[in-house]
Amino acid sequence: MSPRSRRTTAGVFAPLAVALAVLCGCTALPTSGPVVQSRGTDHGDSHRASDIDARPPLDGASRVEVVAGFLDAMTAWPVQTSVAKQYLTDEAAAGWNPRQETLIYSDSLPVRESSGTVSVQLTAADRLDAAGAWRGAVGSEELTLDFQVSVEDGEYRIVDPPDALVVPASWFRQRYHQVSLYYFDQMAQILVPEPVFVPEGDQLATSLVSGLLAGPPPLAQGVVRSFVPSGLSIGLSVPVDEAGVADISLAGEAQSVTAEQAELMLAQLAWTLRQDPSVTALRVTLDGSALPLPGGVSQYSVDAAAAYGPAGPGGSKSLYAVSQGRLLAGSRDTDLDPVTGVLGDEGAGVVAVAVSPDNEQAAAVDRGGRRVRLATVDESTSQPAAQVLLDGGDYARPSWDNAGRLWVLERRPGGAVVWLYDGEGVRTVQVPGITGTRARELAVSRDGTRLVAVVRTAEVDAVVGARLLVGGRGQVRRAGRPFVVRAPEGSKITDLAWAGPTRVAVLTATAPGRLYEVDVVAADGATVGVDVVSTIVNGEVLGLAASPVEDAPMYAVYADRFVDIVRQESHDIGPDGISQLDYAG
C-alpha cells in the first residue's frame, strides 16, 4: 500500500512563510502560528539610502583627526574617494587603490595615537575582493589598522593607507546588495552564478554588465569560464528604455565572435541582467556592429536562455520519498506511489535515496546505511538489476549534479571520505575541510561547482563549503580551499539542501523531537547585506525537501505529512508514512 497525500492548511510556519515571501515576491500570507522565534533579513532598509557628503580635512587637524576624517570620508555616498584622497600625501594618493578590496567592520574602538603611529582597532570585520565577492572574516591579526602620518605642506597627511575601502557594516547594509554574475561551467553546459555585492541605485544594469565584463572573481578562477570576450568596456552606462530593453554598447579589441560564442555570451548577459526588474530584453553592439541574435530577432529576451539555467534544463518539481524501504514518486498534487524499478519493490530496503536531475536514475543507500546501489527509477529491460557502487561503509544520503556525477559521503571513525561516481567508476576526491573530518551530510550544487557539508567540531555543527574544479571534459580535478558557509551555533544540524543556486537551507534541532530551526543562508558564507531567513517551528521534523529550481516549494518533512513552508499547505501521508522526501538531485 502506498502513502496517499491530502492537502490541508498548516499554521506552524507563518513568520518563516512571511520572510520567504519577501524573498520570492509573494504576498497575502497568514501571519499567525505557534512559532517560538523568528528573524528575517540582514539586508538594510529598502528605502533609498541618504546621500553623504565627505568632509575634507580641516586646517591644523591633528594626526588622530586626520585618520578619523579619512575613515569618515570613505563613507561618502554615492561612492567617491576624491575627498578621502585629500587626507593622504600626494605620493600615497597617487598609489592608493581602494578598489582592491572592501573591509566591512561591525564596530571599532576610538582612534588612538602611540609612538607616532595612529591605530584603529576593529572589533570584527569581513572582506570582499575587488570583484565584490565575499571572502569571509578578517583574521584577528589584521583587525588593527596602523597609519603612519607625516607633515606635508604644513599639514598632517597619511603616508600608508590600506588598499581597501573601509566602511561600517551598518552603512554597507543600507547601500549594497548581493547579486550574481553568470558564467558557464567548464563544459559550457550550465550557467554558474557567482555572487558579488553591488551598490544600490538606478545603475544596476550598468553594475551588472561591468561586473560580467571584468571576468570571474578570483576565487572562481578555474571553476567557471566566460564567453564574453576579454578587453571590452561599456563606456558610461547601460541605458534601459521605457520598454525595458537594455542597450549594451561594447567597445574594445575583441576578436570576431562566432555564432556559437554569441549564443553563450547572450545567455550570460541575459541571466545576469534579469536580476534588474526594469530589464526585459537586451540588444548588443560590438564596436558599433550589432551582435547577431538567434532567429534574427531584433532584441534578446532575458528569459530566452532558460535551457542554460543554473538549475539545469527541464526544471522538474517531481518528488521522491522513502516509505517502508521503498522508493516512491509523485508530486504535491498527486499521490506518492512506488516506482516501477527495482527500488520500488517490497523488501528493497532503501534507507536514503537521491534521484538524478533527469529523473532517470536513483542512488539508494540500503542495508541499514552500509551499501550504495545505482538503479533506474522506472523498470528497464537494459538495466534490470541494481549496480552496487559502494559496500561496507557508513554512507550518508548521496547527491547528484547536473552532469550526472554522483557524490557520496562515507563516515569513518578516522575521518570522512568523499566518493565520486562519474559513470565510469568510483573514486575518492580529497576535499579540504571535509575529507578526514567528522562530516555527517553532504550536498553538491546543481551546477557541480560547489560542495557543502555538515561538519561536527567539538560537539557542535558547522556547514563547510568548497569549490570544485572540473575540466573541459567533465573530469573533477580537485577541490578548492574550504570556507565556512554557516558557523557553529550550538545546535545539531539534522539536514541541509540547496534551496536555490546560491542558497543553502539548514535544519537544526533546537530541542530534538520538539523544536527545529530552518535557516536559509548564502552559499558563499556571506553574513552581511544578504537575505537570511530563520525560524523555529514545532514538531518532529525529519528533514527538508528543497530544490534550486525556481518556484519549487520548500517542504518541512514529517513522518505523516510534508508542509509547504511558504503556502502553509500540509500534504498528509497515509498510514505507511515516509522517512524521507526530496526533489531530484
Confirm whether 388 is domain-assigned. yes
Query: Is there a single domain that holds both residue 205 and residue 70?
Result: no
Confirm whether 46 is domain-assigned. no
pLDDT at residue 279, as a whole number? 97
- Domain membership of residue 120 as a residue range: 63-174
Q: Which residue has the cell 505523516?
A: 560
In contact, 209 and 234? CB cutoff 8 Å: yes
| 472, pLDDT greater than 90 | no
3-state secondary structure string across 181-249: EEEECCCCCCEEEEEEEEECCCCHHHHHHHHHHCCCCHHHECCEECCCCCCEECCCCCCECCCCEEEEE
What integer is the mean pLDDT of 265-285?
97
Q: What is the dihedral of CA 411, 417, 422, 423, to 10 degrees?
A: -50
Query: Is there a single domain that holds both residue 290 and residue 399?
Result: no
Confirm whether 47 is domain-assigned. no
Percent of the chain whose predicted confidence (pLDDT) is above 90:
77
Q: What CA–CA distance (Å, rounded) separates 153 from 93?
A: 15
State the amino acid at position 205 in one-letter form: A
> Which parts of 138-175 are beta strand (E)?
144-152, 155-158, 165-168
Q: What CA–CA distance (Å, rounded) separates 139 from 127?
A: 10
pLDDT at residue 253, as a whole number? 78
CB < 8 Å & 24+ apart, contacts of 85-91: 86/56, 86/57, 87/57, 87/157, 87/158, 88/157, 88/158, 88/159, 88/161, 89/150, 89/152, 89/157, 89/158, 89/159, 90/152, 91/159
| Cross-strand bridge partners of residue 290 | 285
| 320, pLDDT greater than 90 | yes
**Nearest to residue 203, comparing CAs of 169, 178, 232, 237?**
237
pLDDT band at 37 (very low <50, low <70, confident <90, very high): very low
Q: Which whole-number Å values give the CA distances from 260 to 303, 309, 460, 504, in the listed order?
A: 18, 17, 49, 33
Q: Average the pLDDT over each of 33-47, 191-205, 390-404 and give the range with the smallest value.
A: 33-47
Pick the last residue of a domain from 268, 285, 308: 308
Total tally of structural domains belonging to the chain: 3
| 9, pLDDT greater than 70 | no
Q: HSE, CB side, 13 Å, CA atoms: give it for residue 46.
A: 4
Confirm whether 180 is domain-assigned. no
Q: Average the pLDDT over each of 137-141, 315-319, 359-363 and give the range with the smallest value.
A: 315-319
Query: Is there a single domain that holds both residue 10 and residue 106?
Result: no
Q: Which residue has the cell 530534538?
A: 512
- Which carries the bigger pLDDT value, residue 37 or residue 503? 503
Q: Which whole-number Å values give the CA distances from 14 to 535, 561, 567, in the listed order?
A: 9, 17, 9
pLDDT at residue 325, as a whole number? 97
Query: Is there a single domain that holds both residue 541 and residue 502?
Result: yes
Q: HSE, CB side, 13 Å, CA atoms: give it for residue 256.
A: 2
Query: Is there a single domain that holds both residue 488 and residue 368?
Result: yes
pLDDT in tens, 349-388: 999 999 999 999 999 999 999 999 999 999 987 777 899 9
pLDDT at residue 19, as a whole number? 41
Pick the last residue of a domain from 147, 174, 201: 174
Query: Is there a single domain that holds both residue 295 and residue 433?
Result: no
Backbone angle region of 154, left / alpha / beta, with phi > 0 → left and psi within -120 to 50 → alpha = left
Query: Is there a single domain that holds both residue 301 and residue 318?
Result: no
State the amino acid at position 443 in one-letter form: A
Supply the CATH number for residue 151's domain. Answer: 3.10.450
| 292, pLDDT greater than 80 | yes
Confirm whether 183 is domain-assigned. no
Residue partners of 110: CB distance under 8 A and separation at least 6 = none
- Which carries the bigger pLDDT value, residue 12 or residue 290? 290
How do the residues of the chain divide into helix, strand and coil, expressed in percent and rounded to 5?
Answer: 15, 40, 45
Residue partners of 184: CB distance under 8 A and separation at least 6 = 190, 191, 192, 224, 225, 226, 227, 264, 267, 268, 308
pLDDT at residue 41, as a whole number? 54
Query: Is there a single domain that holds both residue 80 and residue 214?
Result: no
What integer is the mean pLDDT of 290-315?
89
Confirm whether 211 is domain-assigned. yes
Query: Is there a single domain that holds both residue 159 and residue 231?
Result: no
In contact, 522 and 539? CB cutoff 8 Å: no
Supply the CATH number for residue 17's domain. Answer: 2.120.10.30
| 435, pLDDT greater than 60 | yes
The C-alpha R_g of the chain, in whole angstroms, comes to 26
| 69, pLDDT greater than 80 | yes
Percent of the chain whose predicted confidence (pLDDT) is above 70:
91
Query: Is there a single domain that holds both residue 280 and residue 375?
Result: no
Q: What CA–CA distance (Å, rounded) separates 400 from 134?
A: 26
- Which carries the bigger pLDDT value, residue 9 or residue 432? 432
pTM check: above 0.85: yes
- Which carries the bigger pLDDT value, residue 96 or residue 50? 96
Query: Is there a single domain that holds both residue 466 and residue 324?
Result: yes
All cell numbers assigned to 130: 575587488
3-state secondary structure string across 341-401: CHHHCCCCCCCEEEECCCCCEEEEEEHHHCEEEEEECCCCCCCCCCEEEEECCCECCCEEC
pLDDT in tens, 250-261: 998 767 888 899
Pick the last residue of a domain from 282, 308, 334: 308
Q: Which helix (H) or strand (E) holds 173?
A: helix 169-175
In contact, 319 and 282? CB cutoff 8 Å: no
| 36, pLDDT greater than 50 | no
What integer is the mean pLDDT of 145-167?
97
Query: Is there a single domain that holds both residue 530 and residue 433?
Result: yes
| 274, pLDDT greater than 60 | yes
Three-state SS for 24? helix
What integer is the mean pLDDT of 551-563?
94
Neighbours of 208 (CB within 10 A): 25
Q: Which residue has the cell 572540473?
A: 470
Q: What CA–CA distance (Å, rounded) separates 34 from 326?
A: 34
**Nearest to residue 346, comparing CAs of 3, 579, 1, 578?**
1
| 29, pLDDT greater than 90 | no
Full DSSP string of 403-442: TS-EEEEE--TT--EEEEE-SS-EEE---TTTTTSEEEEE
| 34, pLDDT greater than 70 | no
Full DSSP string of 89-104: -HHHHHH--TTS-EEE
Q: What CA–CA distance (Å, rounded) separates 489 from 483?
A: 16
Confirm whether 205 is domain-assigned. yes
Confirm whether 58 is domain-assigned. no
